[in-house]
Structure 1
Amino acid sequence: MVRNRLHEGGMRARRPQVKAGSQLSTCDRRDRVWRRRGERSAACNILQHDRFGSGSVMVWGGISLGGRAALHVLARGSLTAIRYRDEILRPLVRPYAGAVGPGFLLMQDNARPHVAGVCQQFLQDEGIDAMDWPARSPDLNPIEHIWDIMSRSIHQRHIAPQTVQELADALVQVWEEIPQETIRHLIRSNAQVL
C-alpha cells in the first residue's frame, strides 16, 4: 500500500502550511501534504490561500426525494429576512412546494432570517409548513452533506476557480451534477436518524 511505503520513508500526512497567495480560497481542513519532519516550510508543502474578503459565495439550494430546486447564488451582502423572503421563499420555495404538492414540509434551521416574523408570516400566508427545529440542536439537515460534497468537488478540481464568478459558476455546475440517487440516499438516511 502506498501509505505504508510513505510511512517507511519517514513521511506523514500533515496539514499544509497556508500562505497568502493570488488564488481564490481553496483551503480545506481535509487538505493534507505528505512530508518528512522539518519540511513544513518547503515550497512544495505550502498551500496558496487568498484572504481577500470578496472571495466567497453564499448559495441556497433545496432538495427533496423527487428532485431539487435551482441553486440560487446570492449577490453581495448578508442575508436578511427581507432578502430571504424576496430572493428565496417567494421565487424558489413557493413554486417548489407547489410542484411537490400536499405534504411538502420545509426544513430549515433557526437562522435569524429563517425565523423572522416576515418570513414566518409569508410561509403561513402561502400555506407552507415548516418543520420545527429545536434550538441548539445538531444540524441534521441532509443538505449539509450536499454542501460538503460540493465543497470537496470544488477543491478537487485541477484548475481552481480564480474569481468569485468562476466559483459561483462551478458551484452551480456541481449542484446540477449531483446524482438524484445521492440526494435520496442522504434524505432517507437522515429520516432514520430523526
Structure 2
Amino acid sequence: MGQLASQLLHGQVCDIPSLPQLQCADKRSRVHFKCAICIWNLLLSTLKMRSKELSLSVKEAIIRLKKQNKPIREIARTLGVAKTTVWNILKKMECTGELSNTKRPGRPRKTTVVDDRRILSLVKKTPFTTVDQIKNTLQEVGVCVSKSTIKRRLHQSEYRGFTTRCKPLVSLKNRKASLEFAKQHLTKPSQFWNKILWTDETKINLYQSDGKRRVWRRKGTAHDPKHTTSSVKHGGGSVMAWACMAANGTGSLVFIDDVTADKSSRMNSEVFRAILSAHIQPNAAELIGRRFTVQMDNDPKHTAKATKEFLKGQKWNVMQWPSQSPDLNPIEHAFHLLKTKLKGKCPKNKQELKTVAVEAWQSITRDETQRLVI
C-alpha cells in the first residue's frame, strides 16, 4: 500500500500489467481509466487547471493559433490552458461567433467587494451599531440593500449578534491596581492562601432569578400552573447576609436583619463591627488557627474611621485589597454556588429562605472551597 501511494504521488509506473513499459507521468499523454496512477494524475491535472475566466486576449490568441492550423494540444500547451478549454472556446466561436462570456443565470449580487468591506468596517469600528444604522449609512453613499442582505454579508464573515456580557465599570487606576495585586501574589504558596479568612456580603432573593426555563408539555397547556414559573416584582423580598470562608471550608452565614436593632437589612459601620466582633475570631480559630489574615473589600463601611480603629484594636492582620476587584475574591464564587443550590428550593417566606440558605451554605464542601481558593 505504501509503495502504491508513493507511485501515485510521484506518477511513476502504470499499474496495468499488460502495459508495463508505458509511463503515466508527464512523459505520456494517454490515460488508462482502469489504471489508478492514470486516474490520480488526471485528478491532479484537473485540480491544477485555472478556475478563473479567460481574458478576451487569450481567447483571441486561441482563435488566431487555430487559424494557423495549430493542433489543440499545441495551443493548450502554448497558452497554458486545458485542452478542453481550447476546444470549448473554438466550439463556442463556431456556434455563436462570439467570445464574450455568456450571462450567468440568477440574480446578480447586490453588493460589491467594496460594499462588503464597508459593512465590515462599520461593524469593526462600532460593534454596537444596528443593521438599520448600517443600512442608512450605505444609502448615504448610494447603496440600497435590505437588512437581510446586510445580515448575510456579516454572517459570511463569521459575525453573529450576541447579548452583551455585563461587566462592572472599573476605572483605569483600579484596573492597574488589581493587575499589580495579582502579579505580587502570583507566586504565593498554598500555605499563604490557607491562612486567609475571606469575608463579604451578598443579597439573596426569595425567588431566585434563574432566567428562562424549559418545560415538557403538550400543545395548548402553556398556562397550566404546572407548566409556568412564578414571577414577582423585585424578587418578592430578599435578605442581606454577611459570610466568611477559608480554604478549609465555609464559616458563618449571618443575616443583617438579625443584627440590626430595627430589623432592617441596612448595614452601617456599627453593624459591621458587631458582626466582626462576634464571628471573626471563632471562625478563624475553627477554620485556620491562631494566626490568620482577614480579607475584606473597600466598601465605605469597611473603611470607615470607626471600623479602622476597631480593626487596629483587635490587632488582626488585614489584607490590603484593591478597589473594584470582586473577581479576585473566591467568596464571590462561593456565593454563586450557594445561589445555585437554592434554585431547587421553594421557600414561602424570608424565614424559610434563611433556613435553606444556611443549609445550602453549610453543604458547600471543603474540596469546593479549596478549589476556589487554591
Q: TM-score under structure 2 normalisation? A: 0.38
In structure 1, C-alpha distance between the alignment counterparts of 2:250 and 2:319, rounded to whole Å: 18
Q: Provide the residue aligned with 2:363 in structure 1.
A: 177
Deviation at 1:102, TM superposition (A): 4.7
Higher normalized contact order (CA 8 Å, seq sep 6+, divided by chain length): 1
Deviates more, 1:49-58 or 1:118-127: 49-58
Q: Residue 58 and residue 32 in structure 1: after superposition, are their counterparts in 2 closer, same or farther (change >3 A)? A: same
Deviation at 1:69, TM superposition (A): 2.1
Q: Provide the residue aligned with 2:268 in structure 1.
A: 80
In structure 2, C-alpha distance between the alignment counterparts of 1:174 and 1:81, rounded to whole Å: 28
Q: Provide the residue aligned with 2:213 in structure 1.
A: 32
Deviation at 1:48, TM superposition (A): 1.5
Consecutive unaligned residues in structure 2, runs of 5 or more: 1-204, 258-263
Deviation at 1:124, TM superposition (A): 1.2
Percent identity for Structure 1 against Structure 2: 29
The superposition leaves residues 98-126 of structure 1 with CA deviations (integer Å, 9 ceiling, x where unpaired) of: 55345411111111211112112111111
Matches for 1:1-194 after TM superposition, within 5 Å? 24-29=206-211, 31-33=212-214, 42-43=222-223, 46-51=228-233, 55-75=237-257, 76-86=264-274, 88-99=275-286, 100-157=288-345, 160-188=346-374
Provide the secondary structure at the position in 2 that maps to 1:47: coil
AA matched with 1:95? P
Deviation at 1:78, TM superposition (A): 0.6
Deviation at 1:53, TM superposition (A): 7.4
In structure 1, C-alpha distance between the alignment counterparts of 2:235 and 2:256, rounded to whole Å: 16
Alignment check: 8 A CA contact 2:206 2:235 kept: no
Provide the secondary structure at the position in 1 that maps to 2:325: coil
Deviation at 1:175, TM superposition (A): 1.0
Alignment check: 8 A CA contact 1:54 1:164 kept: no
Deviates more, 1:63-72 or 1:51-60: 51-60
In structure 2, C-alpha distance between the alignment counterparts of 1:48 and 1:184, rounded to whole Å: 36
The superposition leaves residues 65-110 of structure 1 with CA deviations (integer Å, 9 ceiling, x where unpaired) of: 2333221122123111110001x11000133335534541111111
In structure 2, C-alpha distance between the alignment counterparts of 1:53 and 1:104, rounded to whole Å: 37
Q: Residue 124 and residue 117 in structure 1: after superposition, are their counterparts in 2 closer, same or farther (change >3 A)? A: same
In structure 2, C-alpha distance between the alignment counterparts of 1:67 and 1:175, rounded to whole Å: 10
AA matched with 2:368? T
The superposition leaves residues 128-165 of structure 1 with CA deviations (integer Å, 9 ceiling, x where unpaired) of: 122111123343111111111110111123xx111000
The number of aligned residues is 157
Q: Provide the residue aligned with 2:168 in structure 1.
A: none
In structure 1, C-alpha distance between the alignment counterparts of 2:294 and 2:351, rounded to whole Å: 29
Deviation at 1:179, TM superposition (A): 0.8
Provide the secondary structure at the position in 1 that maps to 2:320: coil
Q: Which has the larger radius of gyration?
A: 2
Provide the secondary structure at the position in 1 that maps to 2:241: strand
AA matched with 1:161? P
Q: Residue 137 and residue 27 in structure 1: after superposition, are their counterparts in 2 closer, same or farther (change >3 A)? A: closer
Alignment check: 8 A CA contact 2:250 2:364 kept: no
Q: Residue 182 and residue 130 in structure 1: after superposition, are their counterparts in 2 closer, same or farther (change >3 A)? A: same
Q: Residue 178 and residue 28 in structure 1: after superposition, are their counterparts in 2 closer, same or farther (change >3 A)? A: same
Q: Residue 133 and residue 28 in structure 1: after superposition, are their counterparts in 2 closer, same or farther (change >3 A)? A: same
AA matched with 2:363? E
Structure with the largest fraction of strand: 1
Cα RMSD after superposing both structures: 2.6
AA matched with 1:47? T
Deviates more, 1:106-115 or 1:171-180: 106-115
